[in-house]
Amino acid sequence: MGIKVSASLMCMDLLHIASQVQILENYIDEFHMDIIDWHYCKNMALAPCFMKAIRTISSVPMEAHLYVDNIDMDLIDLCCESGANIITMPPEIIDRKLFHIHRELKKRHVGFGISLNPSMNVDVIIPYGHLIDRLLILSVDPGFAGQPFIETTYDRIQKAVQLREENHWHYQIEVDGCCNEKYYQKLYQSGADVFIVGGSGLFSKSKDIEKAARTCLDLIKKETLCRNG
């Protein structure tokens, strides 16, 4: 299929976590963990302890996406110890310690990711693009599921592809927010490498989580058969 699929566990049925995780791990490539502190945006969601619990029942790679106003090494260490394979952070929060955080993550063999809100210019990554393992492009404002897709996302993905090619950088381009069959084809054609699927792309497809996962993958496959459409 040529695309990685990451399930946003913020959108899962929290009353059936273990059973849903054990089914989903047979279908998806990663678990996406939104860690939200109420300060960066007005919502609260998962925490490192949630990742740690998931790690006891699954070996699927996990991404910790930090929507946190005060990111320090204590939090980053906690995410690493809890099983995160990559940690994605807002650049405006870590700008004064970005290179230090990258070095520390490299020591821990954990990937370094940057997340860009819809209003942010992709050019912001130019000083450190060579360090990034994953560039997460938000297609909605941060913090809440169910928002409408922002159409300028396609241009921002294309700009990220251009920068990567011109500079021989290595990051994957990930899309987060309203990622579903209405947008898969154009997102893929624009150059996205990873789809984060949540409420509209995965969990709403069926109350039967296995059927939902199969439907999600079938729709992605249908819409991404060819990069050039």
pLDDT one-digit tens code per residue, 149-195: 999 999 999 999 999 999 999 999 999 999 999 999 999 999 999 99
Q: Is residue 61 part of a domain?
A: yes
- What's the number of domains the chain is made of? 1
Mean pLDDT of the chain: 94
Residue 142 banded pLDDT, cuts 50, 70, 90: confident
Quick: pLDDT tens for 72-113: 999 999 999 999 999 999 999 999 999 999 999 999 999 999
Does the pLDDT of residue 2 top 90, yes or no? no
Model pLDDT, residue 3 = 95
Q: Is residue 208 part of a domain?
A: yes
Q: Is residue 228 part of a domain?
A: no
The structure's pTM equals: 0.94
Catalytic positions = 34, 176
Q: Is residue 69 part of a domain?
A: yes
Q: Is residue 116 part of a domain?
A: yes
Model pLDDT, residue 145 = 67
Q: Is residue 180 part of a domain?
A: yes
Does the pLDDT of residue 60 top 70, yes or no? yes
Q: Is residue 182 part of a domain?
A: yes
CATH assignment at residue 20: 3.20.20.70
d(CA 151, CA 107): 38
Where in the sequence is the domain holding 91, given as residue range(s)? 4-223
Model pLDDT, residue 140 = 93
Q: Is residue 229 part of a domain?
A: no
d(CA 193, CA 187): 9
